[in-house]
Amino acid sequence: MQEKIDFVVLWVDGSDPKWLEEKNKYSDKKIDIDAEINRYRDMGTLKYWFRAVEKYTPWVNKIHFVTWGHLPQWLDTTNPKLNIVKHEDYIPEKYLPVFNANPIELNLHRIDDLAEHFVFFNDDMFILNKLEPEYFFNNGLPCDFWKENTFKTEDADDNFFDHIVLNDLFLVNKNFDKRKFVKDNFSKVFNLKYKKRNIRYLMLNRWNYFCGFDIPHTANAFLKSSFKAVWDKEYKMLDRTCQNKFRSVFDVNQWAVQWWQMLKGDFSVKSYDDFGKYFVLKNDNQDLFDYIRSDKSTVVCINDVNSDLDFEKISTELINVFEEKLPLKSSFEK
């Protein structure tokens, strides 16, 4: 029998004056690395996330909608599949209020009635075509692929994100023996589904520690017990992260849990090419629009990282493309 699979999606209304007021109480402009407007501005596409879920994955058990407290005016909160989750409902009080995505994500396992099998989405990740439960979970295990790669720094100077990735890498190297892992999970490290990537994995296997991992920006399948396991073993590191109201170079994030899950061997092998596609918004987004329209697309992540874009124009174009693909209101809309 197919296990229950929940979806968890995070959303913030960066224009909410009450949220902004509270955020600014705690924000030191000199160190607030989350201050850029593109971190919080809303593209107006959230309703299409719900339309896509209802159309393409009607089998989902429950949707946990995580929010600071604000809600879209169009959202029908009476939908029986919808669970509204405020930060205060599941994040320990000592960490609140929080504007750092990492504590918000690292505590997801504390959500009341969350299924053991769940898929985590940011609100910029959209399902684009019909997907079966086996796309995310197979034989009770999250679908994933062996991700080892060399650590690659971001292009931006003094990028705090690199520090977080290194902290994640330190955490898993501290807890897992690479030689034992490869021996116990040989068919998951070297697999025909990986194609030419097997050459890379073979070359990296000469090192006795994990050199780094790919970080695909897509919807990720998790076992709730994986979060509990990391908290039980590395409470101090996660607690330190959760005390940071804004992202910090001392943080770890949910990738540490994903890698932990992978290094436990708790995954079912899937091809890298099956996990969807990642796009960064730019002034010309025709390649993104073509992918959204495609009958072969699966999941897309649309990342807003450039604050200098003509955001109003791009948002309108994006909404038009989604409206073309998903014109019918979902039961999650009033």
CATH assignment at residue 14: 3.90.550
Classify residue 168: in a domain, yes or no: no
Instruction: Provide the residue type at 248 as one letter.
Output: S
More confident site: 5 or 35: 5
Predicted pLDDT at 155: 47
Range of lowest pLDDT (160-169, 194-203, 251-260, 294-303):
160-169
Distance CA 71, CA 78 (A): 13
Q: Is the pLDDT of residue 125 over 80?
A: yes
Classify residue 98: in a domain, yes or no: yes
Classify residue 166: in a domain, yes or no: no
With left for phi above 0 and alpha for psi between -120 and 50, is residue 142 left, alpha or beta?
A: beta
| Percentage, residues of the chain above pLDDT 90 | 81
Range of lowest pLDDT (141-150, 269-278, 290-299):
269-278
Q: Mean pLDDT throughout 6-19?
A: 92
Q: What sign does the dihedral 75-77-82-83 (CA atoms) show?
A: positive
Classify residue 211: in a domain, yes or no: no
Classify residue 78: in a domain, yes or no: yes
pTM of the shown model:
0.94
Q: What sign does the dihedral 254-51-111-87 (CA atoms) show?
A: positive
Predicted pLDDT at 161: 83
- What confidence category does residue 15 fall into, taking pLDDT thresholds of 50, 70 and 90? confident
As a dihedral over the C-alpha atoms of residue 180, residue 210, residue 264, residue 161, rounded to 10 degrees, the angle is 170
Classify residue 156: in a domain, yes or no: no
In the chain, how many domains are there? Answer: 1
Asked if 232 and 167 touch (Cβ cutoff 8 Å), the reply is no
42-73 confidence digits (pLDDT tens): 889 999 999 999 999 999 999 999 999 999 99
More confident site: 283 or 115: 115
- What confidence category does residue 26 fall into, taking pLDDT thresholds of 50, 70 and 90? confident
More confident site: 41 or 93: 93
Classify residue 261: in a domain, yes or no: yes
Q: In terms of residue numbers, what domain contains 259? A: 5-146+216-325
Instruction: Provide the residue type at 91 as one letter.
Output: I
Predicted pLDDT at 156: 44
Predicted pLDDT at 153: 66
Minimal CA–CA distance to 297: which of 316, 317, 325? 325
Average pLDDT, the chain: 92
> Counting Cβ atoms within 10 Å, is residue 28 exposed (0-12), middle (13-18) or buried (19+)?
exposed
Predicted pLDDT at 157: 47
Q: Is the pLDDT of residue 162 over 80?
A: yes
Predicted pLDDT at 196: 94
Classify residue 126: in a domain, yes or no: yes
Structure token pair of residue 194? 């990986």
